[in-house]
Amino acid sequence: MTLGRFAPSPTGVLHLGNLRTALASWLSARVRGGRWIIRMEDVDGPRCRRDLGEGQLRDLAALDLESDNPIVWQSERGAAYREALAALHRAGHLYPCACTRKDLQQLASAPHLEDGLRPYPGRCRGQIWEGWERALRCRLPEGSLDWEDRLLGLQSDEPARLTGDPLLFRRDGCFAYHLAVVVDDGAQGVTEVVRGADLRPVTATQIRLQEALGLPRPDYAHLGLVVAPDGSRLGKRAGALGLEALAARGISSREVLGWLGWSLGCQERPEACTPPELLGSFAWNRVPMGEVRVPEAWV
C-alpha cells in the first residue's frame, strides 16, 4: 500500500512552496488509495521549535491535510538513530571525522553546489571509531547510481560528487538530517517521497544510506520550487507567504488551495477548492516540472 509523507522542519512558517509540496504528496498518495502522514524533522538543534511545529500542523489542518498516524517528532527518535549507527558500525561503514569547519572549507575543491553543500573528500577515512565523542561519517560505495523520479524521469548521480561521505552524527551529539530521514522513512514504511527540488542533489546519498541499512527504496518526486513573481528565490519574503499572512490580506485557505491545485496541473484556473476536489484531476504527468511563480497580487 502507498504511504506518502510530508516532513517539514519546524524552523518557521510553512510558505507556499512547503504547502505545495504537502498538497502534492497528499494527492499522490490519496489518488492511489494510499495513506499519508506528517513527520516533524526537528533534529537540527535550537533552530527547530515545538511551537513552530504546532503552528505548521495548524496550517496543514486548515487546508484539511491531516496525518493518518500520530505525528512523529524526530527529536524523540534518538534511540532508533543510535541503533542505526551501531548497525552501520558493525558493518564497517562508519569512521570518525575530526575535520573542523575550516578544514572542510579548505579541502572543498568542487564548486559550491547548494547552500552549504560541498562534497566531503574523505580525508578521515581509515580512522577507527572509538566512541560517541567524535563526529561520525558513513563511507559510501564509489560510482553513480540511477533512480526514477516520478516527475523528472531517470536520474543519475554520484554521492561522491555531491555530498561525499555524509556526516551522520555531530560532535555536539546531534543526529544528522540524512540519517534521521532515511531511518524514519524505513521505520514508518514510507513508499513515496515527494519534496522540493532543492533536495534532489542529496537523493543519491540517501539511497546509498538506505542500501547500507538494508532498507527499501521509496519512489521519489522532486517538485520545482515556488519563486517570486520575477523568478528570484523567495528568501526572507517566504515568511510573508504563509497561510496566516495571506489570510490577513483577505486570501482564504480555499483560494490558496485553488492556486496550489492549479500550479500542480489539477485545474485550468486557480479556483478556490478543497483537496478532495482536486483528486479526480491529479496526475504526475500533468504536474509542471519547472519553478512556479507566486501571483503578483500575493507578494
Residues that bind Zn ion (CB under 5 A): 97, 99, 123-124
Smallest gap, in angstroms, from Cβ of residue 107 to Zn ion?
A: 8
Smallest gap, in angstroms, from Cβ of residue 126 to Zn ion?
A: 10
Q: Which is nearer to Zn ion, 123 or 171 (CB)?
A: 123
Long-range contacts of 51-58 (CB under 8 A, 24+ apart): 52/10, 52/11, 52/12, 52/13, 53/8, 53/10, 55/10, 55/13, 56/8, 56/10, 56/13, 56/14, 56/18
Q: Which is nearer to Zn ion, 167 or 234 (CB)?
A: 167
Closest alpha carbon to 11 in 32, 42, 34, 57: 42
Q: Are 138 and 129 in contact (CB under 8 A)?
A: no
Smallest gap, in angstroms, from Cβ of residue 102 to Zn ion?
A: 12
Smallest gap, in angstroms, from Cβ of residue 125 to Zn ion?
A: 8
Q: Which is nearer to Zn ion, 124 or 209 (CB)?
A: 124
Q: Which is nearer to Zn ion, 107 or 279 (CB)?
A: 107
Smallest gap, in angstroms, from Cβ of residue 103 to Zn ion?
A: 7
Report how far residue 154's alpha carbon sits from residue 220's, in angstroms, rounded to the nearest whole number: 11
Q: Which is nearer to Zn ion, 100 or 232 (CB)?
A: 100
Please, is 259 exposed, middle or buried when counting C-beta atoms within 10 Å of its C-beta (0-12, 13-18, 19+)?
buried
The answer for residues whose C-beta is within 8 angstroms of residue 229's C-beta and 6 or more apart is: 293, 294, 295, 296, 299
Smallest gap, in angstroms, from Cβ of residue 129 to Zn ion?
A: 13
Q: Which is nearer to Zn ion, 118 or 195 (CB)?
A: 118
